[in-house]
Structure 1
Amino acid sequence: MNKRPTINDVAHLAGVSKRTVSRVINGASNVGKATRERIEAVIKETGFAPDKQARGLSTSRSYLIGLIYDNPDALYIDQVQRGVLSICSELGYELVVHPCRYKSEGFIEDCIHFVRRSNIDGVIILPPVSESKLLADTLQSKHINYVRMASVDLDDHKNIVVSDDRAALRDLARYMVSLGHTDIGIISGPQQYYSSKERLEGFLETLQSLNVDVPPSRIVEGKNSFESGIECARHLLIQSPRVKAIFANNDEMAAGVLKVAHEMGIAVPDDLSVAGFDDNLLAARVIPALTTVQRPVGDMAAIAARKIIAHIQGKEVSESETYLVKPHLIIRDSIKKV
């Protein structure tokens, strides 16, 4: 058809009422499977796109989902947005992002103001902001839909998607020890964050269970940035005797380790083994390719998006529905057998 298709055109071609088409568009469950599929086929064939403003007025929704974050890793944020948008585009929602300063005075008020100002239907909250109990309690008290992504089980399972970082770091520790590594340095993340604590504790506890001791001098706290990875790597690599392997809390800092090793003439992995966490775009592209832990960020974000939309639509989100996701080890070229 030459003119822009309308909801009336879709109803006519599908042989249903306008109200039934509207129910399918708005995700209502009281439409039969065959009827729903017929309407969706007509929508796809005609290229019909509902007017978001009219749709919002008819349902008292804005069809906007907020994303609240304070994370310096642009690659992580990109993965999250892709995961959320894959569901938003499927279900007719738009994404509005809001960077904030997690530790700043008035950050709770800033987040609430964002939701009110932008007329958001619900928010997805990323770590470390998602670790704030006060923010979650405030959102709940103001009847604002939310879902948290985190590394620790902090909430009702219907309101959270958890990455089991501790279990993944156990796997990495066992792998490194299996290759003969016993002199290991660690660049942790900021210890005020649950995710950093979970990774550090999971790694250290497993090493200790395997009779590998990491002295305090071999543990340096970074800021999860490339620059802090460089600074921490220099601190570890000037020690004598020099450390034989380094685990960094994320791939950004691990890339900083690779840079410093190159500048100091230390061959990776021949003279120094390096591991990271996240498996972001850098991990497979640096030289040598980085052994790391792959956190399925896009999948977690998609799960969070489905949960928040279910909340918005008033659908029950089961406590047993997927909430725990385990990252897994990606073995590449940056760790060598001793």
Structure 2
Amino acid sequence: MPARSSPASQAARPTAGKAATINDIARLAGVSKKTVSRIINNSPLVRKDTREKVEALMREVGYTPDPLARGLAFRRSFLIGMVYDNPTAQYIVDMQYGALDALRESGFELVVHPCDTRSPGYIDGVRRFVQQQKLHGVMLIPRASEDQNLVDMLAETGCRYTRIVPVGFDDRDGRMIVTHDRDGAAEAADYLLTLGHRDVALITGPLAYRSAIERTEGFVGTFAKRGIEVPKSRIIEASYTFESGVAAAEKLLAGKQRPTAIFCGNDEMAAGVYKVAMRAGISIPRDLSVIGYDDSPLAARLWPSLTSVRRQTRDTGRIAATMLIRPDNGPLPVASVRPHLIVRDSCQPPA
């Protein structure tokens, strides 16, 4: 008895080198295009044997549903946008990995939109991005997440969103993941105080970023509670980049009265401190203790390994994307991701 041929072998296959379409699947399976659409979107209105036949056929010919086409058919998109203005590449990569963790096997795809929140027309650019891609929802990453005008625009266009923010904002829909940056910086300050440091310095991110303000106030405020003032001359505003960390460290380490410890607003700037210290013959941690923020892969790769505040970036991206693909679009509880200090080898009591 001859072997039974597969459905795809009983009808003309798609042209070699050309991706199969939903019309090809319907023709090869002998069903309507609507039936194929229902199967792709897990509709219960399809018989089990028909579903199994069509799914086997899709696997055989390597058919992958197009997210944009699915959205057009159901008057919504299967695309999630990520809008960001952030100079730290590793942070953005980790956030994307987290979002992709949540979207895997969901049928949704991730598209990204970098922007410059200082540009007067950037909100119109985000609006075009949302409308052209027909986005199902948008993840807003700092600093874009801190702009209420951008949030209001998304609400007006009916696009759901989640905001990743360093501190809670007044959002009636509660679509926030709060990262509590002030608490992370306060824990770093407590650790230095426990080691006996009193003459400390701080390299902040741009104070236009709420994260930089929260980390500065958390660090300085913790010392103030112990009756210790961090002088303004010891607080240098930088830009969350390695180069700006180098420039800030050169100012702080140039004189004879050097601080015994420096807290940096991220690991990139802490790496800049390492470079300046090495050139000046300053030993870390014997002569200078250093703490970063983010606990990026860089922290463990520096020598000595960098003590840093871990802020669970990948988990934050996963939570933000998960909130967006919930079946309903109603108010959401505010989510929290708590930072904590990872102690390594870059700190010790002052000499």
TM-score range, shorter chain: 0.7 to 0.9
Q: Are positions 1:141 and 2:153 aligned together?
A: no
Q: Residues 9 and 174 of structure 1: is their aligned pair in 2 closer, same or farther, counting only changes over 3 Å?
A: farther
Aligned twin of 1:240: 256
Code of the aligned partner of 2:242:
F
Deviations 1:194-214 (A, max 9, x none): 111111101111111123221
RMSD between aligned residues: 2.8
Counterpart of 2:344 (choices 313, 325, 332) is: 332
Kindly report which structure 2 residues correspond to 1:208-227, keeping only aligned pairs within 5 A, or say none: 208-227=224-243
- In 1, Cα distance between the equivalents of 2:101 and 2:173? 22
- In 2, Cα distance between the equivalents of 1:294 and 1:8? 53
Counterpart of 1:101 (choices 96, 112, 116) is: 116
**Identity across the alignment (%):** 41
Q: How many angstroms does 1:18 deviate by?
A: 7.3
Aligned twin of 2:17: none
Aligned residues: 318
Q: What secondary structure, in the 3-state scheme, does the structure 2 residue paired with 1:282 have?
A: helix
Instruction: Specify every segment of 5 or more residues in structure 1 that has no aligned partner in the other structure, as ranges.
Output: 11-16
Deviations 1:177-235 (A, max 9, x none): 00111110100111121111111101111111123221111111111111000000000
Q: What secondary structure, in the 3-state scheme, does the structure 1 residue paired with 2:218 have?
A: helix
Q: What secondary structure, in the 3-state scheme, does the structure 2 residue paired with 1:91 have?
A: coil
Counterpart of 2:318 (choices 302, 310, 315) is: 302
Counterpart of 1:68 (choices 76, 80, 83) is: 83
Aligned twin of 1:113: 128
- In 2, Cα distance between the equivalents of 1:132 and 1:181? 37
Counterpart of 1:56 (choices 67, 71, 87) is: 71
Report the TM-score, using the length of structure 1 for normalisation. Answer: 0.85
Aligned twin of 2:245: 229
- In 2, Cα distance between the equivalents of 1:6 and 1:325? 44
Q: What secondary structure, in the 3-state scheme, does the structure 1 residue paired with 2:299 have?
A: coil
Q: Residues 214 and 9 of structure 1: is their aligned pair in 2 closer, same or farther, counting only changes over 3 Å?
A: farther
Counterpart of 1:162 (choices 178, 186, 192) is: 178
Code of the aligned partner of 2:315:
D
Q: How many angstroms does 1:239 deviate by?
A: 2.7
Report the structure number with the largest CA radius of gyration: 2
Q: How many angstroms does 1:118 deviate by?
A: 2.3
Report the TM-score, using the length of structure 2 for normalisation. Answer: 0.82
- In 2, Cα distance between the equivalents of 1:8 and 1:327? 54
Aligned twin of 1:199: 215
Q: Residues 246 and 326 of structure 1: is their aligned pair in 2 closer, same or farther, counting only changes over 3 Å?
A: same
Q: Residues 20 and 61 of structure 1: is their aligned pair in 2 closer, same or farther, counting only changes over 3 Å?
A: closer
Q: Which moved more, 1:222-231 or 1:188-197?
A: 188-197
Task: Determine if contact 1:189/1:224 at 8 Å carries over to the other structure.
Answer: yes
Counterpart of 1:260 (choices 276, 300, 311) is: 276
Instruction: Specify every segment of 5 or more residues in structure 2 that has no aligned partner in the other structure, as ranges.
Output: 1-5, 9-19, 30-34
- In 2, Cα distance between the equivalents of 1:195 and 1:51? 38
